[in-house]
A and B are shown apart, each in its own frame.
Chain A
Amino acid sequence: MHASDFIYTTYIHVIQGTVAIVTSDGRMIVGTLKGFDQTINLILDESHERVFSSSQGVEQVVLGLYIVRGDNVAVIGEIDEETDSALDLGNIRAEPLNSVVH
């Protein structure tokens, strides 16, 4: 199986969907997945960062549209629209994610 097939078939149905990206420095970014390649470079639209702390809900619109280099991607999660809108972000208190340590 060609290497690129894996992620291609995996994520072809998620394009145009909302995804949550966890980066290697422990940040969580939510956006619309526009495209990707074999090295998992991502094109994300309307991305905003979810910062968790003792008082959550701090969302910044990081950039409307940007490219995330695959090296820095740890996890790509499919966000279920219904569940996500049910989430009351203002009420969540938590520690920030750790960054990836090799």
Chain B
Amino acid sequence: FKSLVGKDVVVELKNDLSICGTLHSVDQYLNIKMTDISVTDPEKYPHMLSVKNCFIRGSVVRYVQLPADEVDTQLLQDAARKEAMQQKQ
């Protein structure tokens, strides 16, 4: 995730709210701080109109949508495979 800081992502939360913005920082709990946010989906969620920066608790994130070309999926697959093997041992 740390390599994605500065990129635009869409975070979908467990309460169905989708927030689009620039990834500012991430921590070990996968809490996310985003700047310059806007609500992607039909703006039936106007609650965030006056909010530009926000902090999202890791436990409420359902998905993080990334542009496909920012992620080297091969590298990610290899890394995930290695971690899974390490955990089995």
Contact = CB atoms under 8 A, between A and B. Distances in A.
A75 B27 contact: no
Contact of B51 (A80, A92, A99): A80
Contacts of B16: 98
B44 A87 contact: no
Given A7-B31, A10-B55, A75-B60, A100 B50 contact: no
Contact of A6 (B27, B54, B56): B27
A87 B45 contact: no
Contact of B50 (A3, A79, A97, A98): A79
25 contacts: A6-B27, A6-B31, A10-B55, A11-B55, A20-B47, A20-B48, A20-B50, A20-B51, A22-B17, A24-B60, A40-B57, A52-B46, A77-B53, A77-B54, A77-B55, A79-B50, A79-B51, A80-B50, A94-B44, A94-B47, A97-B15, A97-B17, A97-B47, A98-B15, A100-B60
Interface of A: 1, 3, 6-7, 10-11, 20, 22, 24, 26, 28, 40, 50, 52, 70, 73-80, 83-84, 86-87, 92, 94-95, 97-102
Interface of B: 13-17, 19, 25, 27-29, 31, 33, 37, 44-57, 59-60
